[in-house]
Amino acid sequence: MDELNADYALTEEQVAAYRRDGFVKLPDVLSGAVLEAYGTEFTRLVHVLNRQTLPLAERNTYGKAFLQIANLWEHSEKVKEFVLCRRLGKIAAELMGVDGVRMYHDQALYKEPGGGFTPWHVDQFYWPLSNDNTVTAWIPLQPVPVEMGPLSFCVGSHNLLRHRDLSISDESELKIGRTLHDYPKHVSPFALGEVSFHSGWTFHRAGPNGSEAMRAVMTIIYMEDGMRVAAPKNENQQRDWDRWLPGAPVGEPIDTPLNPVIYSVHR
């Protein structure tokens, strides 16, 4: 826990890159020892909680993209130590320029060997939240070469308004891909310990896993402390409100047991 409580020294250039591009990849955020120690627990829970039983060939595009298990921290004190750690939460707050962040939810995204691509999408389409101060940490538990399907980003796309209303699907891959055709993309491998942070409105995707190993990734979604619930605009946002923001009234600051403060300058 010493490493997880220690501050990571962000540079002005890294903060500026995040705000300009809608994402940033940061080297040496976590040691291999920490990733191995906590990753074992993430992987155990993914196998315990996974309900996907169809063979890859029989799944739709979303199902082929990854095994998706959310809020592992509700099932394990060890996971809770990791996802509520100061180190990552402070990075999220500093990148967004806010005084503090709360948990929205965590999720493991494990792309199986032979798993398919993850279509272009934006995350905040799913979230009934009142402002744009959200960020997702994408934390690989191993190096991710290009052939394993690292997360890739459309540079500066958090400023684009078109096609924000599409869920992850073949349609989003086609329509968003056409819209982003002339925009720069960032596709690169992740070294061990490298972590990316991307805005809730940044368009991103991932390629298929052409390797023989599982692409094991943990993610943590942060929102500004003081975020309020917005009236849901679609069924996905209604489900998210019911599951991740239980009992939080529309228009009021979010403060539920599932949304603890992770980092605050006032603490």
Is the whole-model pTM more than 0.85?
yes
Band (pLDDT 50/70/90 cuts) for residue 267 is confident
Amino acid sitting at position 188: S
pLDDT digits (tens, 9 = 90+) for 118-134: 999 999 999 999 999 99
Whole-angstrom distance, CA of residue 258 vs CA of residue 103 = 7
Q: What proportion of the chain, given as a percentage, has pLDDT over 70? A: 100
Contacts of 249 (CB under 8 A, 6+ apart): 229
Using alpha carbons, select from 96, 137, 112 the residue that is nearest to residue 224: 96
What's the mean pLDDT in 39-47? 98
What string of H, E and C letters represents the secondary structure of the chain? CHHHHCCCCCCHHHHHHHHHHCEEEECCCCCHHHHHHHHHHHHHHHHHHCCCCCCHHHCCHHHHHCEEEECHHHCCHHHHHHHCCHHHHHHHHHHHCCCEEEEEEEEEEEECCCCCCEEEECHHHHCCECCCCEEEEEEECCCECHHHCCEEEECCHHHCCCCCCCCCCHHHHHHHHHHCCCCCEECCCECCCCEEEEECCCCEEECCCCCCCCECEEEEEEEECCCEECCCCCHHHHHHHHHHCCCCCECCECCCCCCCEEEECCC
Q: Give 5: exposed, middle or buried? Use CB within 10 Å, 0-12, 13-18, 19+.
A: exposed
Token pair belonging to 23:
């994402």
Q: What proportion of the chain, given as a percentage, has pLDDT over 90? A: 99
Domain boundaries, the chain: 2-264
Q: Where does 2-264 sit in CATH, by number? A: 2.60.120.620
Token pair belonging to 86:
């100061």
Angle, helices 12-21 vs 86-96, to 10°: value is 60
pLDDT digits (tens, 9 = 90+) for 184-194: 999 999 999 99
Amino acid sitting at position 54: L
What's the mean pLDDT in 165-170? 96
